[in-house]
Structure 1
Amino acid sequence: MNNENDVIDTLAELESFLIDVENGGFGLKGVAGVGMATNNKDGSRFVAVFDDNQKLLLARMITEDVFQTGQDMVRNGVGRKH
């Protein structure tokens, strides 16, 4: 997984990560979606960026708290308040 030592541990960091993905901040090509998942090997949680073929483009570890409280943000996107 990419940046395993750089764990997202707040909703603000998750929001920033999602905005960066949306704005092309990581230089990823063909981004089709973002989701949260659990690593089958060790049970750790992560947020993942996928392409149209469900190929993993980028992943960042997240804390259990962010996994539980940030699901709607990942599912519905980050809406900027005006």
Structure 2
Amino acid sequence: MINENDVISSLEELEAFLLAVENGGLGLTNVAGVALATNNADGRRFIAVLDDNHQLLLGRWVTEDVYENGKDLVRLGPKGPVH
């Protein structure tokens, strides 16, 4: 389930999306992880929210710049607010 008009175009937007997933703000259940991926049909890049069976729960398109420069952010997780 990817919204065609909803593209993450900055690292700040990617971080906010990851924080929303992590904090349960998107109402998703059974979230096991996130990954940057490539659509096999057309080569477009996206961020995938996956369940424990590696099934796509939610996806958002990302720009090529976000895909290339957001890998560590996805791998290491968002910083979020410091308490």
Fold similarity call, TM over 0.5: yes
Deviation at 1:42, TM superposition (A): 0.3
CA distance in 2, matches of 1:80, 1:14: 12
Deviation at 1:68, TM superposition (A): 0.2
Pairwise CA RMSD: 1.0
CA distance in 1, matches of 2:40, 2:16: 26
Deviation at 1:46, TM superposition (A): 0.1
For the residue of structure 1 that corresponds to 2:5, the secondary structure is coil
Count of equivalent residues: 82
- Higher strand proportion: 2
Give TM-score scaled by structure 1 length: 0.95
- 4+ residue segments displaced more than 6 Å: none
Give TM-score scaled by structure 2 length: 0.94
Unaligned runs of 5+ in 1: none
For the residue of structure 2 that corresponds to 1:32, the secondary structure is strand
